[in-house]
Chain A
Amino acid sequence: MLLWFLALPLPALASVDKTLGVSPALLSKYSAPKSGSWKCLDGSKEIPWDFVNDDSCDCPDGSDEPGTSACPNSTFYCQNAGHIGATIPSSRVNDGLCEPECCDGSDERPGVCRNACKEIGEEYRKKRDAERKIQKTGAKIRSSYIAFAHKEKKRLEALVESSAAEIAVREKEVARLRVIAERTESLSAAALEHKQQSRERPLYTSLMSHASALKALQREHKKHLEREQQLGDILDTLRKGYNPNYQDMAVLEAVRGWEYLAGLPHIGVEEDAQKAADLSVSDEEAGIAETGDEKKDDEVAETDEEEWTAEDLKTGLDELLNTDYVSLLMAHDEHVKTPPPSTLFNLRGYLPDSLVPQYEEMRETLLSWLGVFGIAGTDVEKSSDSSKARTALSDAESALNKVISDKKNAEEDLGEIFDVQGFGAEGEWKKLDGQCLQLDSGDYIYEVCLFDEARQKPGPGKGGQTFSLGKFSSWNPSPDVKPGEPAYYEKQVYDRGTRCWNGPERSVILVLKCGTENAIHTVAELEKCEYQFTGTSPALCLPLDAKDSVREEL
């Protein structure tokens, strides 16, 4: 409440205590000098002692008016006996409002504010105790996280050690297999060279280019279909959100154009469009499918009988691409009935290099069958020696690589566990790596998987897509906050999420404070596609230190 009418008569101001508003640390500087002349705290000026706290600013640093609002940008100290002293800006002194920070009411002229330090102090202590309780409980959980980190460290260290041993073994094995492979390969190289010069090769090369072109087309086609679906989704959102255009005819045209194309009714025509839009969702989809059919029919009418229909493409293409060319080749060879047993082996000469390994594999199987039935001689095996050796080598190599990368990952994880910019100096965050927290806002479910990704999912019973709101990027990026400080861990940044198709990439600032649970409490989209989550985590609950405990006793 504003208490204008309680202003005291002028002389009362002049009698303001010279030490009013002076903080205890500076109290010694505010005593009457013998000379009667007082020096501003910055030493810039000497003024009569009478000018101190006379509600008229004399010192450039404002130090002559600790107890009034006369100097801008200075501060006022309220003692708050029975509670904790506080410092407020001088702009809040004598402004008619009783500052909650100054429960003793000393920020206003006497009689304006009552001394509420008893209640406020009590309330404060109650609140503080509650917070301490949470902090205490949280800190216990936190210490379990730290213990986990240490365990994890040991596990990873063991993993690194065992990996190192395994690497040594596997390296030897790889070296041995390499020697074998190289030896067998040098034997077969000359024969291979000859076969590749065969005059029938262009036919197969061409077949293979067709196949790979078809594959590429199929991939592109699929991409376009997805793109079309996405565009349709975007236009549906636009159409349903229909404020027809926010003053923009181009938008209206886009909506109308989409409705025409997709065979939808014009949404502006309905009595209650919002409702209609909701109801027509299923119709819409049907509509889209329908028009799709129509178009297909048209296309069919126009196309050559030989050409595939869209339906053929959908079902037949995969099958076609699954064709085993090698078997076909075999069948072909069989058909032309020129089967000196060597032909089988010559086939390889017709094949493009890319198919050779595949063919080799198949051929081995086939030949073993042929061998079983006595059709082909067993000397075949000899010819495949080189590839067998090569396969064994590559298997050994990939096994080795896996162990190396496992070791590397383990080492990296080890580095992060107790990294201040990773899981914290005490590793207190390691336990939460990948843990997902959710908040259901009704329309959406917001989720953040710590150190991984934040997402917006459709709410229960609501349709729609899931969007990535960003991948973990960093702790508090503020230049004012140093890694390792408590404030550093109070913010996480998730960025480079799914781009808003009309705006920036989605991102999240996760603001955390100490709490007994890992949870998100609020989600707000303060700027478009930029979210702020607030939540709690025990990982932020530092143990109450000795000083705090002492104060607690008081």
Chain B
Amino acid sequence: MQPWATLVGVITLLLAAPDVLAVKSHDFKTCSQAGFCRRGRALSARAAEAGTKWKSPYSVDSSSISISSNNAVFTASVKSSIYPEIHFGLELRVHEDGVVRVRMDEVNGLRKRYDEAASWALIAEPKISQDITWTTGKKDIRAKYGNNEVVVAFEPLTVSLLRGGKPQVVLNGRGLLHMEHFRSKKVEETKTEEAAPQAEEGVEDQVAADQIVLKTEEINPAAWFVGDKEDDWWEERFSTWTDSKPKGPESLSIDISFPSHGTIYGIPQHATKLALPTTAGDSPFFTDPYRLYNADVFEYLASSPMSLYGSIPILHAHSTDSTVGIFHAVGSETWIDVSHASEKSTETHWISESGILDLFLMPGPTPADIFAQYSALTGTPVLPPHWSLGYHQCRWNYVSTDDVRTVQRRFDEEDMPVDVFWLDIEYADEHKYFMWDDKNFPDPVEMTNDVAANARKMVVIVDPHLKRTSNYPAYQEASDRKLLVMPASGEGEFEGWCWSGSSSWIDFFNPNAWDWWKSLFKTTALKSGWSWTLSTTDIHIWNDMNEPSVFNGPEISMPRDNVHHGGWEHRDIHNINGMLFSNLTSKAVQERTDPPQRPFVLTRSFFAGSQRFGAMWTGDNLGTWEHMAVGISMVLSNGIAGMSFAGSDVGGFFGNPEPDMLVRWYQVGIFNPFFRAHAHIDTKRREPFLLEQPYKGIIKDILRLRYTMLPIWYTAFRETSVTGVPVLRPHYVMFPKDPKGFALDDQYFIGNSGLLVKPITSKGTIETTVYLPEDEVYYDYFSHHVYRGAAKGKDITVKAELDQVPVFVRGGSIVPTRERPRRSSPLMKLDPFTLRVSLSKAGSARGDLYLDDGVTYSHEKGQFVWREFTAQTAKKTVRITTRDLGVEKKAEAVDGVALASYNPSNVFAETIKEVRVEKIVVEGLSGKPSSVKTEGGEELVWEFAAGVAANGKGEGVASVLTIKDPRVLIVKDWAVIIQL
């Protein structure tokens, strides 16, 4: 047995009994253990106690207002009545799309607050609106644009975004805005002890503490607001660690209210419902605020506001009338309390450890608008390489090159499709990433080529901790170039513990690290330094542990007083740190080849903007039904916050799932955008070919189902990459006016395909309830059974035996699939399509299909195929036809490129010009056709099974017309005419 196994076993032993299989909560802070959160909540408590008498000390100095020449930006000084000598600056700007950016910073302070979070998250400096007029009044300044209006009240300072005169977002409405200014220790003491003589050196702390306790109630005029003691201002302890806090208190508290919105979503990542439960107010669901502090939480809870691996400070506030959103560009630890003053309103309170206020108010008014507005800021999700939408087979660990080959062979023997084999940390000699353990992996390039011979890929892990040893080029070069994160002293290299033992971490905030990091991934030898010559371009990368995870650090991460490039403390950038690592890795993989190819990089840690670079997964989940269920709402939540390319580990990372659980988990997995099975080193092997029948056969069918649907997934990703509307769409996104759908997070739609899915996540289920949100027909994907929804929404009960996953096609959809099983997705490239036309009540249907080469960026040059299919019923004729969206909508076809021209016979289109439609299935026709022909052609071969019509009244199996091989090509215009 290997040493790591011993080590990990320790944990297993400690957690052997199922009832203790859970997070070590004491490793992580609660709000009351974090000084600034405690102070923030205390402020909120004082405000609540004071009630209407509470008044924010912050006000705008109206004499200081300055409006930019183009009117879109205004700046003003802000004062705090309790610290009159401290100055703050406020700036508001309105973007072209109506988004309002609100920034506030301390002016001329002792130090500088961290103000670069937005620069990492945003794709570009947003364009300022050219037609804004600010009107300055006595009490406020306001700007009206379209149906929106932004109002800044002077005293106390509030910022409100209104729509149709109705407040949508209000900042500081509850008076909880507080930006702790920088101060020096001594100055502060003098201030709080005005009447007391200066204490002597050496005993001053003790004296000060005593005096604060004794006297501040009488003499500190600010106590009503800031409290009466210096609560963890200058040093903070947690467990065995001490945070030196050289800058003292610098937290930021802001209340953000949504007076007209009763439901909120977002601020991932937390293991909880999509519609966020409360953390404050009367009988809150959780007692602690939602926490954003990227953390490697071992065996996390399936329902908790605790922070997890990634953080995206974006919130959607939703009602039947409108949706608004806010994005706070803050990189430090942030806690968010959520409460509802009424059913129809929501109050949030954001408490951050450091950084400026940099809020983006997104006016909506629809969820789609919010996605567009947020995408304009931080970018859309990446269009991934096509193969990465296939099935990923992972395990900690495949132990040798031969092991990988055997696993591949077994998949092929069972004719189960798979695209990617993964290697976890044990491939690396002493966990020195890139460096193969040549005893067990003597022929890594040959192994990769063997995998690539079946058009498959490998993903290999590269973590951010570098083993501190001179025989490790990645470490040695980083050390020589001084690219490593520094300890609190600001000198030398921070040293912590991770898989590789004593390790150091690259500081990706240092631009000098970027090109160097990219160079490591080159597969050819370089003169400039080491490169990964024992790899091929069929190897893509997995970035784990990038929170960063530091085993012997506070909260299993870096000390907050570590120093990064530019002198910033780790506390300032903690939540951004993981994103930079995976983003740079993504660029490194992209630039291995010339011309570049689409990289696949999976990251565990992420921030606003990570969606531009790759996929994420929900980390180290447990093999329990609860985790299977919460995995779905987590993936939905990540999706609405931009990270569409998401999934949770199939099977659960920890534990040995029973076969029925594994089957259900695969059913969940195939309806995740990112579909990977993974398992902990202590678990039994559970690759699908190892199962007994009937489970093996069921999973084989599930895998094949995913592959038949790849055209749907890829088409959905294209749309997401352009619009930002997530691939998995919860009900509130699809039907924003239907309140019955607001809390739904166990069923969802896939892109605009019309597929509605409700994976089963409980044991022994044989049937389930599915909510149909509209007066439309929904067809069971497998049985063609027609269900009828209702305008007010309707619950239907459907069968859900172990081999059944409830999937429905919304009436009015045309779904393109590829039904031929293949070993891997690239081998489907020339396979014909099946079109499933699911008629709406009105007898129509539409759908689209996007294809490109799946690996290069040639689509940005117009090399793609994008078709729309429509069906229309007129009199007794159903006409199914197709048009070229590349021609019709060239400017919005590809992310980031407004194509001026599109050539339907482009290079890619030529490669698939023979690809045909091999079958058209039309369901819901009102009767047996008298003829089915291609336009101007002969009668086609078809079969008709009588059944329920879409425009009829009953339920039951729909009528199904199957047209055999219409001999039409996917890249061409054509029409099929069904005569009833």
User: Measuring CB to CB, which residues of chain A are less than 8 angstroms from any residue of chain B?
Assistant: 2, 4-5, 7-10, 54-56, 58, 69-70, 72-73, 89, 91-92, 94-97, 237-238, 240-252, 254, 268, 271-274, 441-442, 500-503, 522, 524-529
Contacts and interface: CB of A to CB of B under 8 A. Distances in A.
Interface of B: 1-14, 24, 26-27, 239, 296-298, 399-400, 402-403, 415, 439-440, 453-455, 468-469, 497-499, 501-502, 549, 551-552, 556, 681-685, 704, 819-823, 826-832, 911, 914, 916, 918-919, 964-965, 967, 969
Nearest to A531: B1
Contacts of A89: 415
A240 B2 CA distance: 12
Contacts of A503: 5, 9, 12, 682
B914 A72 contact: no
Q: Which of A240, A243, A254 has the most CB of B within 10 A?
A: A243
B1 A500 contact: yes
Nearest to A503: B9
Contacts of B468: 272
A526 B399 contact: yes
B826 A2 contact: yes
B298 A56 contact: no
Contacts of B415: 73, 89, 91
B14 A250 contact: yes
B399 A268 contact: no
B235 to A, nearest CB: 21
Given A56-B965, A522-B402, A527-B684, A247 B27 contact: yes
Nearest to A13: B914
A25 to B, nearest CB: 22
B24 A248 contact: yes
B468 to A, nearest CB: 7
Contacts of B10: 238, 246, 248, 251, 254, 502
B551 A243 contact: yes
B973 to A, nearest CB: 16
A70 B552 contact: no
15 contacts: A2-B455, A10-B967, A54-B965, A70-B820, A95-B822, A96-B830, A242-B501, A244-B551, A245-B11, A245-B551, A246-B10, A272-B469, A442-B439, A501-B9, A528-B9
A370 to B, nearest CB: 64
Contacts of B832: 55
Given A10-B967, A246-B8, A69 B3 contact: no
Contacts of A527: 683-685
Contacts of A97: 453-455, 827
A272 B501 CA distance: 9
A248 B12 contact: no
Q: Which of A250, A251, A502, A525 has the most CB of B within 10 A?
A: A502
- A-B pairs with lowest CB-CB distance, top 7: A502-B9, A241-B3, A247-B298, A95-B827, A56-B965, A244-B552, A91-B821
Contacts of B239: 249
Contact of A58 (B7, B914, B964): B964
A277 to B, nearest CB: 10
Contacts of A8: 914
Nearest to B911: A4
A334 B850 CA distance: 111
Contacts of B831: 69
A247 B24 contact: yes
Given A54-B965, A69-B820, A95-B822, A241 B7 contact: yes
A245 B3 contact: no
A164 B760 CA distance: 69
A525 B415 CA distance: 26
A503 B2 CA distance: 13
A71 to B, nearest CB: 9
Contacts of A245: 11, 551-552
Contacts of B965: 54-56
B934 to A, nearest CB: 14
B830 A7 contact: yes
B960 to A, nearest CB: 15
Nearest to B413: A89
B962 to A, nearest CB: 10
A252 B440 CA distance: 30
Contacts of A241: 3-4, 6-7
B26 A249 contact: yes
Given A527-B684, A527-B685, A249 B27 contact: yes
Given A10-B967, A249-B24, A525-B2, A91 B823 contact: yes
Contact of B502 (A92, A250, A273): A273
Contacts of B683: 527
A4 B1 contact: no
A543 to B, nearest CB: 29
Given A4-B830, A244-B497, A502-B12, A56 B911 contact: no
A454 to B, nearest CB: 14
A58 B964 CA distance: 9
Contacts of B12: 502-503
A92 B830 contact: no
Nearest to B551: A244
Contacts of A252: 552
Nearest to B620: A247
Given A243-B551, A500-B9, A528-B9, A56 B919 contact: yes
A153 B685 CA distance: 43
B919 A268 contact: no
Contacts of A526: 399, 403, 685
Given A70-B918, A237-B6, A244-B497, 7 more contacts: A238-B6, A242-B501, A249-B26, A254-B10, A272-B468, A272-B469, A529-B5
A441 B2 CA distance: 13
Contacts of A10: 914, 916, 967, 969
A277 B454 CA distance: 45
A5 B551 contact: no
A525 B549 CA distance: 27
A442 B440 CA distance: 12
A271 B454 CA distance: 46
Contacts of B967: 10
Nearest to A270: B502
B733 to A, nearest CB: 35
B831 to A, nearest CB: 7
Contact of B829 (A4, A268, A274): A4
Nearest to A92: B823
B7 A525 contact: no
A528 B239 CA distance: 33
Contacts of B498: 243
A246 B501 contact: no
Nearest to A56: B965
Contact of B399 (A73, A248, A525): A525
Contacts of B1: 500, 525, 528-529
A161 B440 CA distance: 54
A130 to B, nearest CB: 21
Contacts of A441: 439
A118 B169 CA distance: 77
A274 B823 contact: no
B819 A72 contact: yes
Contacts of A442: 439
A7 B498 CA distance: 52
Contacts of B8: 246
B315 to A, nearest CB: 29
Nearest to B400: A524
Q: Which of A9, A238, A240, A503 has the most CB of B within 10 A?
A: A503
Contacts of A55: 832, 918, 965
Contacts of A249: 24, 26-27, 239
Contacts of B13: 501-502
B918 A246 contact: no
Nearest to B545: A247
Nearest to A248: B11
Contacts of A247: 24, 27, 296-298, 549, 551, 556
A95 B822 CA distance: 7
Contacts of B439: 441-442
